[in-house]
Structure 1
Amino acid sequence: MIEFKNVVKDYGNGVLGADHLSVRINQGDFVYVVGPSGAGKSTFIKLMYHDLTATSGEIRVNNYNVAAITNKEIPFLRRELGIVFQDFKLLPRLTIFENIAYALQVIEKQPEEVEKRVNEVLKLVGLSDKAQNFPNEISGGEQQRVAIARAIANRPGILIADEPTGNLDPDTSEEIINILENINQDGTTIVMATHNSNMVNEHKHRVLEISAGKLTRDQEGGVYENE
């Protein structure tokens, strides 16, 4: 599903966000990406969906060579991915239903299909009763659940989550990880950058640890001590 081969991201002034990084993530994996602040976690995540361009090396995501992708191909790559951010990125003037529907409307899904799928993902994240609310009318944890629902609305094979629980309290973070695990059990590959050591240690999955842009550990069911 995802493969990095000798990837370098050079920000200049001697700063490497990725330092000859090589790793493979298989279909159906649940992977935590961990490491201290500034280690290169977000660089690794952003390279996957071409929010950043690699300086050198090869990145394959599904059938795309992301490191050499054309601008015309980028939207098609991203249609195959679900992306969840720490700050939700919901559209404030749209209802919860409309926020999720918009992700399907821009790829020209039929109205009846949009309505059916939005209702499905709202049920999956436990927010069917909030469909007509606006983002400012629900809690941060509920907003993150909406963001996850929007990200999986188009049934992506890969869900990328960049610190999805970073702004949430422990109980709400637990709800979010349970939702992500349920999505993973349905076959979706999950790649999640996090600094939440309690979550990593209590919900065991594969751990990729990055330090100074290098992959320093790749361990199934590994633990993490957030210094």
Structure 2
Amino acid sequence: MIEYKDVVKKYDGDTLANDHISLKIEQGDFVYVVGPSGAGKSTFIKMMYHEEVPTSGHIKVNDHNLESMKNTEVPFLRRELGIVFQDFKLLPRLTVFENVAYALHVIEKEPKEVEKRVAHVLDLVGLTDKKDSFPDALSGGEQQRVAIARAIANKPTILIADEPTGNLDPDTARGIMDILEKINQEGTTIVMATHNSFIVNEYRHRVIEISDGKIVRDQEEGDYTDENSHA
């Protein structure tokens, strides 16, 4: 599903962001990527969807070899992935329904299929009653749920979530995690970067800890402590 072999990523010639990383993430896994700010988590995550390219080493996601991927092939990779950002990236002039549907219109799905799929994912994230609302009328937690609905609209094999509970209060964060758990139980692989030790310790899954660009721990259902953790 996801494989890194001896992956190195340098910036500006000598700044080492990821230092000889090797791991496998299997289909259906739920994996937390943890570590302090500046540890290399974001670089590690961004290479999964070809936002960043490794300096050396080998990355395979599904059947795609990312280090040799041409720019014209990147959209085909990303159609198999769902990506959730901390800052939501919703389109402010579109309703909730239209924001989610946009992801399907881009890949030219039939209108009937769009209608059916959007209704399903909005029900999954508990936002059916908000489908005609605009993003600025929603709470932060609701906006994050729209972002998740949009990310899973095309039935991705892998959902990549970068700090999805980072700006949310504890109860709202738990609501987001309940949704991610449900998505994972339906077979979607989830890779989630987080500082949130409360979430990691309450919702138990594999923990990959990165420090100074290296994997310092890879543990099934590991504990995590972060002094700056917040829900």
TM-score normalised by L of structure 1: 0.99
Question: Could you report, residue by residue, the CA deviation over 1:12-47 in whole angstroms, capped at 9, with x for unpaired residues?
Answer: 363211101001000000000000000011011000
Name the CA shift for 1:22/1:54 in 2 (closer, same or farther; >3 Å).
same
Equivalence for 1:121: 121
Rounded to whole Å, the distance in 2 between the matches of 1:181 and 1:52 is 28
Equivalence for 2:39: 39
Rounded to whole Å, the distance in 1 between the matches of 2:45 and 2:113 is 30
Q: Does 1:184 align with 2:184?
A: yes
Equivalence for 1:94: 94
Query: SS of the counterpart of 1:32?
Result: strand
Query: SS of the counterpart of 1:89?
Result: coil
Query: SS of the counterpart of 2:72?
Result: coil
Equivalence for 2:149: 149
Matches within 5 A, 1:33-182: 33-182=33-182
Rounded to whole Å, the distance in 2 between the matches of 1:192 and 1:202 is 15
Rounded to whole Å, the distance in 1 between the matches of 2:2 and 2:104 is 24
Equivalence for 2:222: 222
Rounded to whole Å, the distance in 2 between the matches of 1:36 and 1:46 is 17
Rounded to whole Å, the distance in 1 between the matches of 2:215 and 2:65 is 21
Equivalence for 1:201: 201
| Pairwise CA RMSD | 0.7
Rounded to whole Å, the distance in 1 between the matches of 2:71 and 2:57 is 18
Query: SS of the counterpart of 2:99?
Result: helix
Equivalence for 1:11: 11
Q: How many equivalent pairs are there? A: 227
Rounded to whole Å, the distance in 2 between the matches of 1:117 and 1:12 is 43
Question: Could you report, residue by residue, the CA deviation over 1:65-107 in whole angstroms, capped at 9, with x for unpaired residues?
Answer: 0111000100000000000000000000000000000000000
Unaligned residue ranges in structure 2 (runs of 5+): none
Give the letter for the 1:37 counterpart.
Answer: S
Query: SS of the counterpart of 1:16?
Result: strand
TM-score normalised by L of structure 2: 0.97
Give the letter for the 1:137 counterpart.
Answer: A
Rounded to whole Å, the distance in 2 between the matches of 1:70 and 1:121 is 32
Name the CA shift for 1:63/1:13 in 2 (closer, same or farther; >3 Å).
closer
Give the letter for the 2:98 counterpart.
Answer: E
Query: SS of the counterpart of 2:210?
Result: strand
Rounded to whole Å, the distance in 2 between the matches of 1:67 and 1:163 is 25
Rounded to whole Å, the distance in 2 between the matches of 1:28 and 1:123 is 22
Unaligned residue ranges in structure 1 (runs of 5+): none
Rounded to whole Å, the distance in 2 between the matches of 1:213 and 1:143 is 31
Rounded to whole Å, the distance in 1 between the matches of 2:142 and 2:176 is 9
Give the letter for the 2:57 counterpart.
Answer: G
